[in-house]
Amino acid sequence: MPAYDIYVRCIDCGGEHPLLMKIFLADGPGRTQSIAEWFHGRSVPPQVLALRRHSALCLKTGKKFVLEEDDKVFLVPLGPDKAKPNTYDR
Ligand SMILES: [Zn+2]
């Protein structure tokens, strides 16, 4: 089953931060997409719904924020080649 990294668009600094969580989706996107885009008009699986209870930490401001907006939470497919996107936060 394909694995996905979770990234969050930060409200505080506008950057994207990894949630350092992985989820598995049988029917997930083949490229990076927000939860809002991918599950539009479809039922959202429980492992994705569970993300809303998590909070992410902004490493720039030190603030925590809750993942309640589906268009700010992104599924990043983990390919078999483990190619990492060049989106390291500095
Ligand atoms: Zn931030």
Q: Per-residue pLDDT tens, the chain, 90 aa: give them.
A: 899 999 999 988 999 999 989 999 998 999 999 999 999 999 999 999 999 888 888 989 999 988 889 999 999 999 765 545 555 444
Q: What is the pTM of this model?
A: 0.81
Task: Tell me whether residue 85 is in a domain.
Answer: no
Number of domains in the chain: 1
In the reported structure, the alpha carbon of residue 5 is separated from the centroid of ligand 1 by a whole-number distance in angstroms of 17
**Residue 56 CA to ligand 1 centre (angstroms):** 9
Type of residue at 24: F
With beta carbons less than 8 A apart as the criterion, state whether 73 and 39 touch: no
Token pair 């907006």 is at which residue? Answer: 69
User: Which domain, by its residues, includes 49?
Assistant: 3-65
Tell me how far the alpha carbon of residue 42 lies from the centroid of ligand 1, in angstroms: 29
Residues 83, 17: Cα–Cα separation, whole Å:
17
Residue from 30, 55, 26 nearest 43 by CA: 26
Task: Quote the ligand 1 centre to 1 CA distance (angstroms).
Answer: 30
